[in-house]
Amino acid sequence: MSQDIKTFTISVYTENNIGLLNRISAIFQRRHINIESLTTSQSEIKNVNRFVIVVKITEDQAIKVVRQIEKQVEAIRAYYHTNEETIYTESCMFKIKSDLLFEEPQIQNIIKESDSRIVTVNKTFFVLEKSGRRHEIEELRQKFDAFGIMQFVRSGRISVTKDEMKVSELLEAFKNQ
Amino acid sequence: MNTETIKKEENKSGKTERITGSEAIIRCLIAEGVKTLYGYPGGAIMPVYDELYKYQDKIHHVLTRHEQGAAHAAQGYARISGKVGVAMATSGPGATNLVTGIADAQIDSTPLVCITGQVPSPLLGTDAFQETDIVGISTPVTKWNVQVTRAEEIPEAIAKAFYIAKSGRPGPVLIDITKDAQFAEFDFKYEKCTGVRSYLPVPKTDKDAVTEAAKLINSAKKPFIVWGQGVILGKAEAELKAVVEKSGVPAAWTILGASAIPTSHPLNVGMVGMHGNYGPNKLTNECDVLIAIGMRFDDRVTGNLNTYAKQAKVIHFDIDPAEINKNVKADVAVLGDAKESLSLLLDALNTNTHEAWHQEFKDLYAVEYDAVIKADILPEKEGLTMGEVLRQINIHSGGDAAIVSDVGQHQMIACRYAEFNISKSNITSGGLGTMGFALPAAIGAKMAAPNREVVAIIGDGGYQMNIQELGTIFQQKVPVKIVVLNNEFLGMVRQWQQLFFDKRYASTEMTNPDFVTIAKGYYIEAKRVTKRDELEKAVKEMMASKSSYFLEVCVEKEDNVFPMIPSGASVSDVRLS
């Protein structure tokens, strides 16, 4: 098995209980693994949450971490995937002074070319939202940096996998036991 | 709590009763069959203690002298009986004092339910008196934990707690209950939990994997079994014995697996690991098929993983998927319950004796006997040895005693030399190595199995870590036998200092109090032995005593435990001196 450090996306289906985030993040902390990003939300199944955790580790570590996560009583299933096995994106927002829109005509071009969306505009600032891969967001941030950004925030990765995860079947089987 | 996520035994009466949360806690414990629990009262758990007072004819609460003692006593109770141990404490320091015992239970897979009181829910997060985030603190060392802030949630939380603690690979759970939830009234009914949808306690045994395992074992020239506590937790002792006897495969054990097959069994070749027997350690690196059953390849068992059984095909039986390939790569993994897997395996095994292979173990035992064992158990030098004390205990217990050991040199000697006829008899802190474990654990063990002889074997260091539990022994009149092997050192650390730190004995020498006087202060019969000719009589007297008994044996100060696999070395480099 490859001992190279790679980016893995770990997807976890869980019950929606207090403390579970702590329990899952502790598994990484204990192994001295830095979490690059962590997003949690409702999944496609009612009352089932989905964690999307991005880490840079070896595949061997990924397997072990996934097993430790699955061992947690309230974790339903966990999986790890490489970038190639997932469709993924991040989202970000920029808050920028409105004056710049008029003073720096370049900004309008940057917005047009970047495939981003203006969320709101008022006299003092405007807010821009952009979804995409990390390098696209980074590129955009660098472009705006030259003019000054009032606020910047980027979400963690969200991703869906190309293959099926069959969590619904698992839950269905429990119901019919 | 989302009730659709768990399955419950139907309460046919359908009746509910209006009671308080704290009464509900006691009623739940009684419904789960709890007869004894260990704990210590305090502000945030007082309503529950008030109910314990009312229900004292149905459930016996043992007041330990420290919450750590309560947790270890509950562990001892669980380890000897296979039942869930229960410990209770108040919020804040009461709760944090349980943590060492909980961590110990987690790493040694011991079923515990710990109940802690918590400040009233409106005060959560306000740094209230004796408030601590025990759910946060205990998360990494519990199988499951939960905070309850409403009385209505209590029955389901406790039902789930017992189910989770004892099913699958057992472990400790903690329920933190706010004081307002204890006081509030609600309509109570109890339904035991029978399933949690996100949790599969026992993976299905893969019959093909069993067949493959049997094939490997049947064609092996030098197969070798190493079993662990999974055999005991899975109640698979008889199945293991049958497998060993039919296949003729030499079988060794980890410390926590000890006693699953009697030590006197001819196919039982001894203990593996850092201070295990010479043969099983050396021959781990000569076997062609290594069959690991309910064990987790702890580093104290394997030594250096890069040189561990590399020549062998590895078959790993375990209930916990996370153990497969965690430390040692398995060629065949058999997930599932040991009892079921082993009985399937038994049918598929050929009868064999492996006589020549067994002879190799016997030959190495003879080497170990001459180099180590003889001088340990039948010493000719002046100073007393720990090994000869164990020998005397064996003689006078006939191998029927449960041995509760602490951590250190005396523990290794106890595990090496204690004779066991009965399963669940070696109660010790394996994974966590918790000094202070033995005295309270022995209390729990004796109370769970009052008809069994329970002998605590403790070093002078560990004894003083929970010495206050003598008070519990006295108050509860628990007839445990306490043997302190006193070498006036933290012996195992001193041994390492001698071997690896040029004898720089940093903070390992102990100036000890008069242990006999202390025991007598608790009205416990006590004796000190300093000479060989006093030993046999003293052990005999102790074992014959019907009440608790304290025996201090002053042993040689600087004896070492051998064989030894130095930390990081290979199992085949096990040293005899």
Can B143 be counted among the known catalytic residues?
no
- Give the pLDDT confidence score for residue A177 in this predicted structure: 75
Q: Does B493 touch chain A (CB under 8 A)?
A: no
- Both tokens of residue B285? 């690196």
The per-residue pLDDT of chain A, averaged, comes to: 94
Cis ω for the linkage preceding B41 (within 30 of 0): no
- Give the pLDDT confidence score for residue B1 in this predicted structure: 44
Q: Which amino acid appears at position B347 of this protein?
A: D
Q: Does A175 touch chain B (CB under 8 A)?
A: yes
HEC secondary structure over B186-207: EEECCCCEEEECCECCCCCCCH
Residues from chain B contacting residue A26 (CB–CB below 8 Å): 139-140
Cα separation, A151 vs A146, whole angstroms: 14
Residue B199's beta-bridge partner residues? B196
- CB-CB contact of B285 with B572 (8 Å): yes
Residues from chain A contacting residue B7 (CB–CB below 8 Å): 174, 177
Residue of B nearest to A49 (CA): B198
DSSP-derived 3-state class of residue A158: strand
Q: Does A43 touch chain B (CB under 8 A)?
A: no
- List the single best residue of B109, B198, B325 to mutate versus A (max A Cβ within 10 A): B198
Can B221 be counted among the known catalytic residues?
no
Using alpha carbons, select from B299, B280, B300 the residue that is nearest to residue B291. B280
Please give the helix or strand (H or E) that residue B472 lies within, else none: helix B470-476
Q: What is the sign, positive or negative, of the torsion defined by CA atoms of B473, B477, B478, B481?
A: positive
Mean pLDDT of A105-128: 94
Residues from chain A contacting residue B146 (CB–CB below 8 Å): 17, 19
Catalytic residue, from B88, B295, B447, B492: name it.
B492
Tens digit of each residue's pLDDT (9 = 90 or more) over B502-523: 999 999 999 999 999 999 999 9
Q: Does A63 touch chain B (CB under 8 A)?
A: yes
Q: Does A22 touch chain B (CB under 8 A)?
A: yes
Q: Does B147 touch chain A (CB under 8 A)?
A: yes
B23-52: b (≥16 Cβ within 10 Å) or e: bbbbbbbebbebebbbbbbbebbbbbbebb
Can B179 be counted among the known catalytic residues?
yes
Four-CA torsion B412, B414, B415, B416, nearest 10 degrees: 80
Using alpha carbons, select from B210, B447, B253 the residue that is nearest to residue B346. B210
- Give the pLDDT confidence score for residue A175 in this predicted structure: 81
Using alpha carbons, select from B442, B448, B390, B385 the residue that is nearest to residue B420. B390
Q: How far away is chain B from the Cα of A89, in angstroms, using its nearest Cα?
A: 28
Can B130 be counted among the known catalytic residues?
yes
Q: In chain B, positions 315-344, which contact chain A (CB-CB < 8 Å)?
A: 320-322, 324-326
B258: number of Cβ within 10 Å: 29
HEC secondary structure over B386-435: HHHHHHHHHHHHCCCCEEEECCCHHHHHHHHHCCCCCCCCEEECCCCCCC
Cα separation, B473 vs B468, whole angstroms: 9
Q: How far away is chain A from the Cα of B170, in angstroms, using its nearest Cα?
A: 12
The per-residue pLDDT of chain B, averaged, comes to: 97
Tens digit of each residue's pLDDT (9 = 90 or more) over B7-56: 999 888 889 999 999 999 999 999 999 999 999 999 999 999 999 999 99
Mean pLDDT of A12-41: 96
Query: B167's torsion region: left (phi>0), alpha (psi -120 to 50) or beta?
Result: beta
Show Cβ contacts of residue B370 under 8 Å, excluding neighbours closer than 6 positions: none
Q: What share of chain A is helix, strand, coil (3-state, %, to 5)?
A: 35, 40, 25
- Give the pLDDT confidence score for residue A1 in this predicted structure: 67
Question: What is A70-135 written as a DSSP string?
Answer: HHSTTEEEEEEEEGGGEEEEEEEEEEEETHHHHH-HHHHHHHHHHT-EEEEE-SSEEEEEEEE-HH
Alpha-carbon Rg for chain A, nearest whole angstrom, is 20
Residues from chain B contacting residue A173 (CB–CB below 8 Å): none
Q: Which amino acid appears at position A83 of this protein?
A: N
Q: What single-letter DSSP state applies at residue A67?
A: H
Q: How far is CA B531 from CA B382, B389, B392, B528, in A?
A: 8, 11, 14, 9
- Give the pLDDT confidence score for residue B418 in this predicted structure: 98
Q: Does B198 touch chain A (CB under 8 A)?
A: yes
- Both tokens of residue A30? 């204990």
Longest dimension (CA), chain A: 67
Full-model pTM: 0.97
The residues of chain B scoring below 50 in pLDDT are 1-3
Alpha-carbon Rg for chain B, nearest whole angstrom, is 24
Please give the helix or strand (H or E) that residue B183 lies within, else none: helix B179-183
Share of chain A above pLDDT 70, in %: 99
- Give the pLDDT confidence score for residue A3 in this predicted structure: 84
DSSP-derived 3-state class of residue B485: strand
CB A73 to CB B136 under 8 A?
A: no
Can B492 be counted among the known catalytic residues?
yes
Q: Residues B310, B314, B318, CA angle at the centre, nearest 5°?
A: 135
Cα separation, B131 vs B99, whole angstroms: 15
Mean pLDDT of A27-34: 97
User: At which residue do the structure tokens 């802690």 appear?
Assistant: B116
HEC secondary structure over B269-300: EEECCCCCCHHHHHHHCCCCEEEEECCCCCHH
Whether the complex's predicted ipTM surpasses the cut of 0.85: yes
